[in-house]
Chain A
Amino acid sequence: MMAGMKVSGKAWKFGDDVNTDLIVPGKYLELVDPHEMAKHAMEGVDPDFPGKVSEGDVVVGGSNFGCGSSREHAAIALKYVGVGAVVAESFARIFYRNAINLGLPALECPGISEAVSEGDSLEIDLTGGKVVNATTGKELDFVPLPGFMVEVLGEGGLVTYIRNHLDEW
């Protein structure tokens, strides 16, 4: 389903418990344009992030990434600012669903914070279940996604998935 899906880019490191208020502060929840949300990605932690990140870069989080509010603005902002994947020690439930629903790979990968330094080049093989730190040569396996989420991600997110499978729902 995810044959050939690869992400490669620079690592941007964040700590534990990065909540969605930090990813997109409450004052921007009135935005409905994804590109406008992207201008505020990670504003609560690093207001300069949108200017520094490049297409395909990887956000590396600690434990409980994306906790707190259900605001999909957080996952939308990361996707539209160009983030190719979020890899974290662990995720909060709603952010995890939101990211996959948007077609933004969210990969649980114990040990990732130790194995990666800011700016390392990462290559993620979604099919093979591996995160490779090309800077250090270190390889880590990520926790496989549940079957249904693999399908959703493989079809580019929940919008396309439902459109393709509306009859079955």
Chain B
Amino acid sequence: MGYTVSEKILARASGKEEARAGEIVKASVDVAMMPDLTTILAVNAMKAMGVEKIWDTDKVVIILDHVAPASTLLAAEIHRDIRKFAKEQELKHLYDVNSGVCHQVLPEKGHVKPGRLVIGADSHTCTHGAFGAFATGVGSTDMGAILATGKTWLRVPETIKVKVDGRLPDWVAPKDVILHTAGQIGADGATYDALEFAGETIKDMSVSGRMTLCNMAIEMGGKAGIVEPDDKTFDFLNERTDGVYDPVHADDNAVYKSTLNVDAESLEPQIACPHKVDNVKPISEVAGLKINQAFVGSCTNGRLEDLEVAASILQGRSVHEDVRLLVVPASAEVYLQALDSGVIQDLVEAGAMFSNPSCGACFGGHIGLLAPGEVGLTSSNRNFRGRQGSPEAWVYLASPAVTAASAVAGEITHPRDL
């Protein structure tokens, strides 16, 4: 019997001939990534373990992104302490508050490669499976142990194959594919499992779209989301890495726990309704619902093509008078691309607010909170009660296109109906 991508990567990372789903392995970590709000806890854990120096100054990456720039004294102190720690440790990769969201910055700066084991102290670390890596999120104590030893224990996951075929209709995006998938699999339907995304639609999909898919594997309880690397992957990575890869592909006779077939052609835009990511409905069932705030951004949908589609809808139109539209690029690189392409001009002229890269608007941080009774429509990844401000607010998830069209109409709207 053959092996899945996860089985192959985890066998390699643990120095074994083979690793099978269900087995627990002790694996060497290739990249350990920490965002600002979990770093101090991880460092404290490492020190409590009796270790003062991180195991490798080149493999640890810290990115100050969640509260960027600091909006509270506590956040300012965390950032100060992290900068000091990075200096003391002679850490080679600290990306400061001007850089962007960790899951965008990590691959942009060349830290992610196919076949690598990437562990992050953030649940959306599964994003990096879009490059054919095995990438998963852990808590701070696990990260402390990795900082101390370079290793972690992992249960080799079973794999669910999500096979997507057919051409996506106009205005239907990778986000709609993954929301539909979450609705089918359920919020805990992939707990402990990896999701391998395959099929013609995935082959045709941009790297940015693949990141959107893998990013939301965790919303089904998944341990990892994976897309096998191809020329698109290498085109993205070549200018950012040393160009030496060890790509991993699933065997034809690999064993899957199950397969979900998705017919892309039949999809319409999808909306995840409060307060669960798997409470997914086609837009035709939700259209007309009034919104107060719209947000385009986050590690799920804050890349150039997301901003571009929003701008294309907003160009020559105006944000509805009862709606605030907040647009946040996922990184400084995306910010610059958006400046170059004129996207920012279009968005701001239409009445959008454009903010510096950060996670703030997604997790109820320092920008864009919702008041009790308000409705938010967002291109981010979680619609949990209280996630974006008041527990009495209502959060709906959608693609950037639907979010932008709805910001114009003042209510949830299919872009084709504008």
Which residues of B sit under 8 angstroms from A98, Cβ to Cβ? 139-142
Mark each residue of chain A from 126 to 168: 1 if its CB lies under 8 Å from any CB of chain B, else 0: 0000000000000000000011100000000111001100100
Convert A54-91 into 0s and 1s, putting 1 for each residue whose CB lies closer than 8 angstroms to a CB of B.
Answer: 00000000011001111111011000000000000011
Q: How far is the CA of A71 from the CA of B137 in the complex (A)?
A: 10
Contact partner of B74 (CB less than 8 A), chosen from A17, A30, A72, A147, is A30
B-chain residues with CB within 8 Å of residue A21 when the two chains form the complex: 363-364, 382, 384-387
Checking A63, A94, A158 against B123 with a beta-carbon cut-off of 8 angstroms, the contacting residue is A94
In the complex, whether B45 has a CB less than 8 A from a CB of chain A is yes
B218 contacts across to A, CB distance below 8 A: 68
Q: Which residues of A sit under 8 angstroms from B191, Cβ to Cβ?
A: 64, 90-93
**What's the least CB distance linking B377 to chain A, in Å?**
18
A159, B141: Cβ atoms closer than 8 Å: yes
* B103 CB-CB contact with A under 8 Å: no
Interface members, chain A 21-44 (any B CB < 8 Å): 21-22, 25-27, 29-32, 44
A64-B188, A72-B38 known; A22-B384 Cβ under 8 A: yes
> For residue B81, which residue of chain A has the nearest CB?
A32
Interface size in chain B (residues, C-beta < 8 A): 52
Whether B223 is near chain A, meaning CB under 8 Å from some CB there, is yes
Is A113's beta carbon under 8 Å from chain B? no
B258 located at the interface, meaning its Cβ lies under 8 Å from any Cβ of chain A in the complex: no
* Interface residue total, chain A, C-beta cutoff 8 A: 43
| Residues of the A chain whose Cβ atoms lie less than 8 Å from the Cβ of B78 | 30, 32
Contact (A30, B139) CB under 8 Å given A19-B384, A67-B221, A94-B123: no
> Known contacts being A25-B364, A68-B384, is A157 close to B141, with CB within 8 Å?
yes
| Residues of B74-92 contacting chain A, CB below 8 A | 74-75, 78
Residue pair B38, A70 in contact (C-beta under 8 Å): yes
Q: Hey, which chain B residues are within 8 Å of A7, CB to CB?
A: none
Min CB gap B161→A, angstroms: 19
A68 CA to B363 CA, complexed, in Å? 11
Interface residue? A6 (CB, 8 A): no
Residue numbers in B under 8 Å from A32 (CB-CB) = 40-41, 44, 78
* Interface-central residue, B137, B141, B188, B385, by most chain A CB under 10 Å: B141
A137 to B326, CA, bound (A): 55
A8 on interface, CB distance cutoff 8 Å: no
* Interface mask (B385-405 → A, CB under 8 Å = 1, otherwise 0): 111000100000000000000
A-B contact pairs, 21 of them (CB 8 A): A17-B276, A21-B384, A25-B386, A26-B363, A27-B365, A30-B74, A32-B40, A32-B41, A32-B78, A63-B188, A70-B139, A91-B191, A93-B223, A94-B139, A146-B24, A148-B24, A158-B141, A159-B49, A163-B48, A166-B49, A169-B148
